[in-house]
């Protein structure tokens, strides 16, 4: 069984809902979740927040957090995942923010640095993904990793 199907099964069994807050994954998580028949019973929606303005306006990420830690940080994805649950009224959420590449990296945050968060009610798991495998693979790896974080939180 695919991870997105297993997550759907767990969400249905526990009568929970899911939302997404995606930056560098650009809607890829929502696309995978909605590829599962019957997902409308648990998936409420997604915000693709590529700009900091959207992160602030729709996901309630504070300007102070973005200024102090940057968009690619544990603090930002934590606020994104909480904001998704609040704005979309869901029990669970996942969030991603990172530097998919090939440009945009810095010595402190090189290309391939992606922060992930998965939340179930008030419990949040975060993970820092590192290593540049190329833009497409960086994004695909982030999608898989954040779904495994959520799966581990739900099981």
pLDDT tens profile 45-103: 999 999 999 999 999 999 999 999 999 999 999 999 999 999 999 999 999 999 999 99
Tokens representing residue 55 in the block: 């992160």
Contact 30, 22 (CB under 8 A): yes
Mean pLDDT score of the chain: 97
Give residue 1's pLDDT band: very low, low, confident or very high (50, 70, 90).
confident
**Count of C-beta atoms within a 10 Å radius of residue 51:** 11
Q: 123-131 long-range CB contacts below 8 Å, 24 or more apart?
A: 123/153, 124/78, 124/81, 124/82, 125/149, 125/152, 125/153, 126/74, 126/77, 126/78, 128/74, 129/98
Using alpha carbons, select from 25, 3, 153, 24 the residue that is nearest to residue 91.
153
Q: What is the mean pLDDT of residues 15-21?
A: 98
Structure-block tokens of residue 71: 């968009």
Say what the pLDDT of residue 121 is: 86
CA 66 from centroid of its chain's CA atoms: 17
User: Which residues have C-beta within 8 Å of that of residue 16, sequence separation ≥ 6?
Assistant: 10, 42, 90, 91, 92, 120, 154
Tell me the backbone φ, ψ of residue 76, rounded to 5 degrees. Answer: -70, -45
Averaged pLDDT, 108-117: 97
Give the start-to-end residue ranges of the domains of the chain. 3-154
Q: What percent of the chain has pLDDT over 90?
A: 98
pLDDT at position 27 over 90: yes
For the segment 12-35, the average pLDDT, to the nearest whole number, is 98
CA nearest neighbour of 129 among 93, 77, 80: 77
Mean of pLDDT values over 34-55: 98
Q: Which CATH fold would you assign to the domain 3-154? A: Maf protein (3.90.950)
């Amino acid at each position: 069984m695919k991870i997105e199907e297993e997550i759907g099964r767990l969400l249905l069994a526990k009568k929970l809902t899911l939302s997404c807050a995606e930056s560098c994954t650009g809607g890829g998580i929502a696309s995978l979740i909605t590829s599962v028949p019957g997902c409308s019973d648990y998936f409420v929606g997604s915000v693709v927040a590529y700009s900091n303005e959207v992160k602030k306006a729709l996901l309630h990420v504070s300007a102070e957090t973005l200024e102090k830690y940057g968009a690619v940080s544990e603090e930002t994805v934590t606020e994104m995942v909480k904001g998704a649950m609040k704005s979309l009224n869901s029990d669970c959420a996942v969030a991603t923010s990172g530097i998919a590449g090939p440009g945009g990296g810095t010595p402190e945050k090189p290309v391939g640095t992606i922060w992930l968060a998965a939340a179930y009610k008030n419990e949040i798991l975060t993970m820092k993904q590192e290593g540049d495998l190329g833009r497409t693979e960086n994004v695909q790896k982030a999608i898989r990793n954040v779904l495994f974080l959520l799966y581990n939180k739900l099981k």
